Amino acid sequence: MTRRYDAVLFDLLTGLLDSWTLWNKVAGDEASGRRWRAVYLKRTYAAGAYRPYEALVAEAAREAGLGAGLADVLAARYGELRPWSGVAAALAPLADAGVKLGIVTNCSEALGRVAASCVGVRFDVVLTAERAGFYKPDPHPYRLAVTELGAATDRCLFVAGSAYDLIGASRVGLGVWWHDRIGMEKPADAPEPLRHTRGLEELAGFVLG
Protein backbone atom coordinates (compact mmCIF):
# COMPACT_ATOMS: atom_id res chain seq x y z
CA MET A 1 0.00 0.00 0.00
CA THR A 2 1.32 3.44 -0.95
CA ARG A 3 1.67 5.76 2.02
CA ARG A 4 0.03 9.16 1.99
CA TYR A 5 3.16 11.22 2.83
CA ASP A 6 6.92 10.77 2.42
CA ALA A 7 7.85 13.44 4.96
CA VAL A 8 6.43 15.20 8.00
CA LEU A 9 7.45 18.61 9.30
CA PHE A 10 6.65 19.69 12.84
CA ASP A 11 6.28 22.90 14.75
CA LEU A 12 8.63 22.42 17.71
CA LEU A 13 7.85 24.65 20.67
CA THR A 14 4.11 23.94 20.79
CA GLY A 15 3.60 21.05 18.39
CA LEU A 16 6.09 18.68 20.03
CA LEU A 17 7.30 20.33 23.24
CA ASP A 18 5.42 21.70 26.22
CA SER A 19 7.33 24.97 26.20
CA TRP A 20 4.36 26.73 27.80
CA THR A 21 5.03 25.17 31.20
CA LEU A 22 8.63 26.38 31.16
CA TRP A 23 7.60 29.92 30.22
CA ASN A 24 5.10 29.90 33.10
CA LYS A 25 7.75 28.72 35.55
CA VAL A 26 10.20 31.40 34.47
CA ALA A 27 7.50 34.09 34.60
CA GLY A 28 6.48 33.03 38.10
CA ASP A 29 2.92 31.88 37.45
CA GLU A 30 0.65 30.72 34.64
CA ALA A 31 -1.16 34.03 34.13
CA SER A 32 2.13 35.94 33.73
CA GLY A 33 3.58 33.25 31.49
CA ARG A 34 0.54 33.26 29.23
CA ARG A 35 0.60 37.05 29.01
CA TRP A 36 4.29 37.02 28.11
CA ARG A 37 3.81 34.25 25.56
CA ALA A 38 0.87 36.05 23.93
CA VAL A 39 2.95 39.21 23.41
CA TYR A 40 5.87 37.14 22.13
CA LEU A 41 3.68 35.31 19.61
CA LYS A 42 2.24 38.58 18.35
CA ARG A 43 5.69 40.08 17.91
CA THR A 44 7.22 36.99 16.33
CA TYR A 45 4.49 36.38 13.79
CA ALA A 46 4.57 40.04 12.78
CA ALA A 47 8.37 40.13 12.46
CA GLY A 48 8.80 38.74 8.95
CA ALA A 49 12.56 38.98 8.35
CA TYR A 50 14.64 37.51 11.15
CA ARG A 51 15.62 39.62 14.11
CA PRO A 52 17.49 38.03 17.03
CA TYR A 53 15.04 35.65 18.69
CA GLU A 54 16.32 36.35 22.17
CA ALA A 55 15.71 40.07 21.63
CA LEU A 56 12.09 39.44 20.65
CA VAL A 57 11.58 37.34 23.78
CA ALA A 58 13.11 40.08 25.93
CA GLU A 59 10.98 42.78 24.32
CA ALA A 60 7.87 40.69 24.92
CA ALA A 61 8.79 40.20 28.57
CA ARG A 62 9.27 43.93 29.03
CA GLU A 63 5.96 44.71 27.30
CA ALA A 64 4.22 42.15 29.51
CA GLY A 65 5.56 43.93 32.59
CA LEU A 66 7.92 41.13 33.61
CA GLY A 67 11.37 42.54 32.91
CA ALA A 68 13.57 41.86 29.90
CA GLY A 69 16.04 39.83 31.99
CA LEU A 70 13.65 36.89 32.03
CA ALA A 71 14.63 36.18 28.41
CA ASP A 72 18.13 35.21 29.57
CA VAL A 73 16.67 33.02 32.32
CA LEU A 74 14.42 31.27 29.79
CA ALA A 75 17.32 30.65 27.40
CA ALA A 76 19.46 29.21 30.20
CA ARG A 77 16.68 26.77 31.10
CA TYR A 78 15.87 25.58 27.56
CA GLY A 79 17.34 22.19 28.33
CA GLU A 80 14.44 21.64 30.74
CA LEU A 81 11.93 21.48 27.88
CA ARG A 82 10.02 18.24 27.68
CA PRO A 83 7.85 16.71 24.93
CA TRP A 84 4.12 16.31 25.31
CA SER A 85 3.14 12.85 26.44
CA GLY A 86 2.90 10.40 23.56
CA VAL A 87 5.15 12.30 21.16
CA ALA A 88 7.97 9.74 20.97
CA ALA A 89 5.50 6.89 20.56
CA ALA A 90 3.71 8.75 17.76
CA LEU A 91 6.88 9.52 15.81
CA ALA A 92 8.64 6.16 16.19
CA PRO A 93 6.55 4.27 13.59
CA LEU A 94 7.10 7.05 11.09
CA ALA A 95 10.87 6.85 11.47
CA ASP A 96 10.71 3.06 11.31
CA ALA A 97 8.80 3.29 8.02
CA GLY A 98 11.43 5.57 6.49
CA VAL A 99 9.33 8.75 6.61
CA LYS A 100 11.60 11.79 6.73
CA LEU A 101 11.06 13.96 9.79
CA GLY A 102 11.85 17.65 10.15
CA ILE A 103 11.28 20.69 12.33
CA VAL A 104 10.41 24.25 11.37
CA THR A 105 10.69 26.50 14.41
CA ASN A 106 10.60 30.18 15.21
CA CYS A 107 13.79 30.12 17.22
CA SER A 108 17.46 31.00 17.13
CA GLU A 109 19.88 28.40 15.79
CA ALA A 110 21.42 27.76 19.22
CA LEU A 111 18.16 27.44 21.15
CA GLY A 112 16.50 25.51 18.34
CA ARG A 113 19.16 22.81 18.56
CA VAL A 114 18.78 22.58 22.33
CA ALA A 115 15.00 22.35 22.05
CA ALA A 116 15.09 19.74 19.26
CA SER A 117 17.36 17.54 21.35
CA CYS A 118 14.75 17.56 24.13
CA VAL A 119 12.22 15.72 21.94
CA GLY A 120 14.20 12.48 22.11
CA VAL A 121 13.73 11.71 18.41
CA ARG A 122 16.23 12.02 15.54
CA PHE A 123 15.22 14.57 12.89
CA ASP A 124 16.52 14.75 9.35
CA VAL A 125 16.18 18.54 9.27
CA VAL A 126 15.97 21.19 12.01
CA LEU A 127 15.14 24.48 10.31
CA THR A 128 15.16 27.57 12.53
CA ALA A 129 13.94 31.06 11.73
CA GLU A 130 17.50 32.28 12.11
CA ARG A 131 18.81 29.93 9.40
CA ALA A 132 15.85 30.63 7.12
CA GLY A 133 16.21 34.38 7.61
CA PHE A 134 12.49 34.74 8.28
CA TYR A 135 9.95 33.92 10.96
CA LYS A 136 6.88 31.82 10.32
CA PRO A 137 4.28 32.31 8.92
CA ASP A 138 6.45 33.81 6.17
CA PRO A 139 6.74 31.12 3.46
CA HIS A 140 10.55 30.93 3.46
CA PRO A 141 11.03 28.61 6.48
CA TYR A 142 8.44 26.09 5.29
CA ARG A 143 9.76 26.00 1.74
CA LEU A 144 13.39 25.69 2.77
CA ALA A 145 12.58 22.81 5.12
CA VAL A 146 10.71 20.93 2.38
CA THR A 147 13.64 21.46 0.02
CA GLU A 148 16.17 20.23 2.57
CA LEU A 149 14.08 17.12 3.23
CA GLY A 150 14.06 16.43 -0.51
CA ALA A 151 10.29 16.02 -0.49
CA ALA A 152 7.57 17.18 -2.83
CA THR A 153 5.26 19.69 -1.18
CA ASP A 154 2.16 17.60 -1.83
CA ARG A 155 3.88 14.60 -0.22
CA CYS A 156 4.84 16.47 2.96
CA LEU A 157 2.54 16.97 5.95
CA PHE A 158 2.99 19.83 8.40
CA VAL A 159 2.04 19.22 12.03
CA ALA A 160 1.18 22.59 13.54
CA GLY A 161 1.21 23.46 17.20
CA SER A 162 0.47 27.16 16.94
CA ALA A 163 -2.71 28.21 15.19
CA TYR A 164 -0.70 30.64 13.07
CA ASP A 165 1.01 27.73 11.33
CA LEU A 166 -2.35 26.90 9.76
CA ILE A 167 -1.94 30.06 7.72
CA GLY A 168 1.74 29.83 6.84
CA ALA A 169 1.96 26.14 6.00
CA SER A 170 -1.25 26.17 3.97
CA ARG A 171 -0.04 29.11 1.90
CA VAL A 172 2.88 27.09 0.56
CA GLY A 173 0.69 24.10 -0.27
CA LEU A 174 1.37 21.87 2.72
CA GLY A 175 -1.40 19.78 4.19
CA VAL A 176 -1.75 20.65 7.89
CA TRP A 177 -2.54 18.52 10.92
CA TRP A 178 -3.20 20.76 13.94
CA HIS A 179 -1.90 19.25 17.18
CA ASP A 180 -3.75 21.71 19.39
CA ARG A 181 -2.52 20.51 22.77
CA ILE A 182 -3.21 23.73 24.67
CA GLY A 183 -6.49 24.75 23.03
CA MET A 184 -5.56 27.84 21.01
CA GLU A 185 -8.07 30.05 19.25
CA LYS A 186 -7.96 29.67 15.48
CA PRO A 187 -7.44 32.98 13.63
CA ALA A 188 -10.48 33.98 11.62
CA ASP A 189 -8.51 33.90 8.35
CA ALA A 190 -6.89 30.53 8.99
CA PRO A 191 -8.02 27.61 6.80
CA GLU A 192 -9.35 24.44 8.36
CA PRO A 193 -6.68 21.77 8.98
CA LEU A 194 -6.93 18.24 7.63
CA ARG A 195 -7.12 17.04 11.21
CA HIS A 196 -7.57 18.94 14.51
CA THR A 197 -6.60 16.87 17.55
CA ARG A 198 -5.34 17.19 21.12
CA GLY A 199 -2.93 14.27 20.66
CA LEU A 200 -0.87 12.49 18.00
CA GLU A 201 -2.04 8.94 18.55
CA GLU A 202 -3.53 8.67 15.05
CA LEU A 203 -0.74 10.47 13.21
CA ALA A 204 1.17 7.40 12.00
CA GLY A 205 -1.94 5.81 10.56
CA PHE A 206 -2.83 9.02 8.75
CA VAL A 207 0.66 9.44 7.25
CA LEU A 208 1.24 5.83 6.32
CA GLY A 209 -2.26 5.33 4.90
Q: What is the CATH number of the domain that holds 159?
A: 3.40.50.1000
Question: Same domain, yes or no, for 55 and 113?
Answer: no
Percent of the chain whose predicted confidence (pLDDT) is above 90: 92
Domain count, the chain: 2
Q: What is the pLDDT of residues 36-91, one digit of tens each?
A: 999 998 899 889 999 999 999 999 999 999 999 999 999 999 999 999 999 999 99
Percent of the chain having pLDDT more than 70? 100
Q: Average pLDDT, stretch 17-27?
A: 98
Q: Is residue 30 part of a domain?
A: yes
Structural domain includes residue 199: yes
Residues 135 and 179 in one domain: yes
Task: Check whether residue 61 and residue 134 sit in a common domain.
Answer: no
**In a domain? residue 2:** no
For residues 63 and 94, membership in a common domain is answered with no
Q: What is the pLDDT of residue 177?
A: 98
User: Does the pLDDT value for residue 18 go beyond 90?
Assistant: yes
User: 61, 79, 97 — which closes off a domain?
Assistant: 79
Does the pLDDT value for residue 165 go beyond 60? yes
Residue 1 counted as domain residue: no
Task: Assess whether 102 and 193 both reside in one domain.
Answer: yes
The reported pLDDT for the residue numbered 1 is 57
* 173 lies in the same domain as 102: yes
Rounded to an integer, the average pLDDT of 14-32 is: 97
Which long-range CB contacts under 8 A does 73-80 form with residues at least 24 apart?
73/26, 74/22, 74/23, 74/26, 75/111, 77/22, 77/25, 77/26, 78/22, 78/111, 78/114, 78/115, 78/118, 79/114, 79/118, 80/22
The domain boundary, picked from 64, 79, 94, lies at 79
Range of the domain at 75: 19-79
Residues 133 and 158 in one domain: yes
Residues 48, 132: one domain? no
Quote the mean pLDDT of the chain.
96
Same domain, 32 and 100: no
pTM of the predicted model, to two decimals? 0.96
Q: How confident is the model at residue 2 (pLDDT cuts 50, 70, 90)?
A: confident
pLDDT of amino acid 208: 97
- Are 60 and 146 in the same domain? no
Task: Measure the CA–CA gap between 197 and 187, rounded to whole angstroms.
Answer: 17
Asked if the model's pLDDT at residue 35 lies above 90, the reply is yes
**What is the Rg, in whole angstroms, of the alpha carbon atoms belonging to the chain?**
16
pLDDT band at residue 202 using 50, 70 and 90 as cut-offs: very high
Same domain, 174 and 105: yes
Is 60 in the same domain as 105? no
Mean pLDDT, to the nearest integer, of 168-180? 97
